[in-house]
Amino acid sequence: MNRNTNKKDVLDSLDIYTYIAELINIPLGDATRMNGHTHNDSIASTRSKEFSLYRSLCRNEACVRQHLMDLLVRTARAEKKNAPYLPLLRAEIRDDTVRLADLTMRRKRLEDRRDSLKGIAKLAVQYRYFEDLDRRIPKWSETAAVLGIALSGEELRKYVCSQFRDMK
């Protein structure tokens, strides 16, 4: 296995960092896509998806909290027995604590975003995503009917999505 040292390798002759910088500086063009949606529409749909994750964040947070409580009980038992797997339990507690902090931070960020909305948009988001975490997310028309908003479901969706675009 004698390596050919006469020829240079491609990476030797190419400054990879300059190449990456050139790729980053390539203009991507207009924000309009093939299907006609603009960048603002994708921001609104991203915010909507973030709000729909609130339920799973709450469930995951409860599961991690319960697992952490179980780990604390197991750790107390292991300390009494002076068990050799005690460092593993402590490491798992540390990991779960970090995971719980991350989930709590993400949940609170969503609640802050909800609180930054005003009027009908805040009511609709509160009803759709934050109330009664065990039911499915209602359709926009159901949301308008339950809240007594005199808009069709599509009009309500467009209004709330326009508020999503204006959010921080």
pLDDT confidence of residue 25: 64
- ∠ CA 96-99-104 to the nearest 5 degrees? 125
Provide the terminal-to-terminal Cα distance of the chain, rounded to the nearest Å.
59
Q: Is the pLDDT of residue 22 over 90?
A: no
Is the pLDDT score of 11 beyond 70? no
Other CB atoms within a 10 A radius of the CB of residue 130 amount to 15
pLDDT at 34 exceeding the cut of 50 = no
pLDDT at 73: 93
**Of the candidates 68, 51, 70, 62, the residue with the CA atom closest to the CA atom of residue 116:** 51
pLDDT value at position 68?
92
Which residue matches tokens 């309500």?
156
Percent residues over pLDDT 70 in the chain: 75
* Residues 54-96: tens digit of each pLDDT: 888 999 999 999 999 999 999 999 999 988 988 999 999 999 9
* Token pair listed for 4: 């050919």
Q: For the chain, what is the mean pLDDT?
A: 79
94: Cβ–Cβ under 8 A, 6 or more apart, which residues?
none
Residues 87 and 68: their CA atoms lie apart, in Å, by 15
Whether the model clears a pTM of 0.75, i.e. scores above it, the answer is: no
Residue 165 in this model has a pLDDT that exceeds 70: yes
Residue 31 pLDDT > 60: no
Indicate the DSSP class of residue 53: T
Domain ranges, ordered by start, for the chain? 41-165
The predicted pLDDT at position 41 comes to 58
Model pLDDT, residue 3? 52
